[in-house]
Structure 1
Amino acid sequence: MRALIVDDEPMQIQGLLRHIGWKALGYEEPLTALSGEEALTILGETPVDVLIADVSMPGMTGIELLARCRADYPTLQSLQTVMISGYDEFEFVQEAIHLGAKAYVLKPIKTEELEMKLAVFREVVEKKKQIEQETTVLREKVTESYEVLQERFVKDMVEGWIHSDELLESWRRLLDLPNGEWQATLFLFGYDRRFLDNPHDAKDRILLSEGLLNCVKTGLSGFSGTYIGKTGADELAVIVLNATPLVRARLEKQLAFIQDILREQYKASVSVGISRECLFWTEIPLLYKEVRHMMTGARLAGYGQILYFDRNLMNEYHDFRLREEYIPEIVKLLDRGESDKASAYFNHAFEVLLAREPVSFSYVQAFGMGLLSELARKLKRIHEKDSEMNILMWQRLIDCTGVDEVRKVVLEYLAQYAKLNQREQVAQQHNLIQRVARQLEEHLHENMTVKQLAEQFHLNHSYLSVLFKKEMGRTISDFVQEARMNKAKELLRDPNIKVYEVAEQVGFQTAAYFAFLFKKTTGTTPQEFRDYHY
């Protein structure tokens, strides 16, 4: 560990060098600098773990030094920093903490206090290095473990996390997957009832989960092109690639054997769902959803089944998906302001409808009506002209005679809904931020944090910060600072209010920091401002 001490007083530096037990704390002899400029030169040339800087120095202050480190030196973002300050400079330290300082000590410096902070810093840095080393070891282990990779591949594939050709190619290299397009089938194994005997026993849960994995691996050993992975505590998926009809028939014969073993060894009933075949890897997440839906419905009739997915079940699943997935997703996208994605998703759903054999115009029309009804219900404030729009669009949909007309009418409604919804959201956000701004202006003296403000308005603090800047054109801290300066100018016009009282009323703990910030903002001190006007 190496520290850098920055102070314009050589005696202060010598005192720290002499009285701190650097070697016992695990530090080398510290580097020293008498100015911020000299410190930047050292930091640019030599690795440093801890920075100890005086707040008040001529030329570049400790705060300005820290700001330069954060802005101009990416490698110093994790630099552990202690600021040294006098009691009257505490407000300056607050600004330093906002810039990333980890601690501060007051003058006169207590050796034990600084040594305690240095020990903590050393522990933090060592833990970071340990995590980095463990991450490197984990990467090596994962690369070496084919089974871990295979399980992660199956889970990512069925859940749709593999979403690009480039990502798939990296999986091809890791697992030596077949090149080209795949003829894929998915087998899904699932316990019919979770952990029958001891549902709250962690050991039994692990035993059943691992037992399912081991039985399936044993039963399907020797079959090439099979990739096995857990998709839940009581569920497991097998992706089978490019299997010939003969291989698939042999594989299916093993399913009853796996069910028997699990029944004998774990007294557990397992159902198996077998998907249709697909020719594109992007369809595998859909296979998984189809089979899960099939198995959920089939369990109502009994447990321990082997189920085959067919076209009738596909139509049934697509009907379910249109109701339970497509319409809610379109509404969600519109409510998030992503109208282009909503239109694209609607077109995708529409193509799914047209893929049915035979195509039912009445069903297509009913889907459009269902979507329009949901959107009309979602409008939070329906003015008279908006109600007329809903009635008009509904009538146009009823009058349609072809599927292309239905598509056109619904897309027009989506566009109009998006405009109304955006107008609604803008109005709500405007009113909300105006309320937040009034709250800040009325409580300048309280030093309210963004987190406290967000909790008061039931918002995430990051989201509030983004909304505020979008609406007001500046950050919350900049707004508060400007409001404080404006309020201070107003109070300074009254000669009966002392400067330190003005500082307190606008939220500053010390008159010194108020005077510093007032001059930085206005170009004059508070007293000069008052003298100029009166």
Structure 2
Amino acid sequence: MYKVFLVDDEPFIIEGLIDIMDWASFGLEVVGSALDGSEALEALRSTPADLLLTDISMPEMTGLELIRSVRAFRPELKVIVLSGFNEFDYLKEGMRLGIENYLLKPINVEELEATLANVTEKLRRAEREERFGVFGARIIRDNVLHRWLTGQISQSEFNERAGLLGLHFGHTRLGILILRAGEGGEDLPRRTEEALEDEKDGLAFRDMDGDAAVVVTLAQDEGEERLLEIARKLEERLGSGIRIGVGSAGPLPEHGSVSRSEAKKALEYALVDPERRLFRYAPPSAATSAAEISAWALADLGREYGRLVLARDREGLMQRIGEDMAAIGRAEGMTPEELQNIALGICADLRAVLREVKREDDGEPFLQVLDRIRNATHMEELVEAVRRAAEETVGMLNRDTRSPVVQQVLGHIAAHYGEELSLKMLGSQYRVHPVYLGQLFHKETGETFTDYLNKYRIERAKEKLRTTGQKVQDISRSVGYWETGYFYKQFKKHVGISPTEYKALQ
């Protein structure tokens, strides 16, 4: 735990900060407090602290004077300034002293949470670099690659960080491999990197959820055969106990998150065939009507089922599965084997939803459902088996440890993301104080309400840009952004390119 010291001449401010923030969720603990700068300075000489939160205007010694004095013997101390005055001179001097942020009272809880998250990440990074030297830089590299492939960092930000870290991609296409060890997978990323020493186009790193990941860059005329070639090489060199998921190939950079998601879902097929080691997440063969059953169409089904599962919409989910399976069954060239594979793919998507919301499951209910899919002799049995898998998924989520109010909020977002949404409005609807609701939401989802809502809306916008002919302005409004300029800004932040550029790629 990193240690926090609070300073404010109003005791209720200190008490409020202690009570309102879930410090432990950020890896922080409050180790002391003071009511003026002089008292704080004396206490900090003997009290270990990593972060100081201080008011500006206090008797005897101001917050800025305190910062100057404490920097003399603790230069590495992180500082967040609180102030009731929006004074440029205060801000200017605070920036000169190297503060992390200048927050106005009354404190915006979400802004404070975001600042604390940034500060703790800086503290962890500094600690890692100090302890591990060059290895610390590798951890940062892994973090950057993970954030890029999960849409948590814009393309421009990634390009900047990639330059600093010496990451250079020499081709215009890419695909992702995900490697998972049954047991003892701690050193899998290192072993993967060693196994790829003779492959200049393969970049291995540790994915933040524990798997090893490989970014394979591809020349314009290369595709999934090249990905499979590298996957088979890793399969041979790493030995037994390793499973490899293979995503599809596509344009760099925008296809990275798609391919990673596909590779993750492909690994869920290990539940069906535990003896197999190489898994591809692929659509049915080209003999099937390509116009009706495409990789994008199946990916859209997975996303839609995920949305309905998170909304706990059992009725809508059952109806949608019946309609979709019937439509797929009518596709030209569809064979019973391909139909069965699609059903298994849908189950893999549903199980992946459980992983995405950070809930571990024992897989037993899915094993029973998968047996029913493999043994189905007619369409009705197949549809019923997929519906059972969907029901099991919703049931497992309902048994999740999340509080009912956060589950309700997630469902409300899924159903009403195009409408005006705020913590204040939702707090009123569910009879919870908005500040407490924001804290609870962040604690249980790992994201602030605003970040989660923006990401959710952008994902829905991407779907509409891919699958409809609507104008960008109309899509912007349909997902909850009435200011098109703000929509462009958020889209580029999360996707790395503008909505217009994204639409042109489809």
TM-score, structure 2 as length reference: 0.37
Query: Greater CA radius of gyration, 1 or 2?
Result: 1
TM-score of the superposed pair, with normalisation by structure 1: 0.35
Give the structure, 1 or 2, with the largest relative contact order (CA under 8 Å, sep 6 or more).
Answer: 2
Greater helix percent: which structure?
Answer: 1
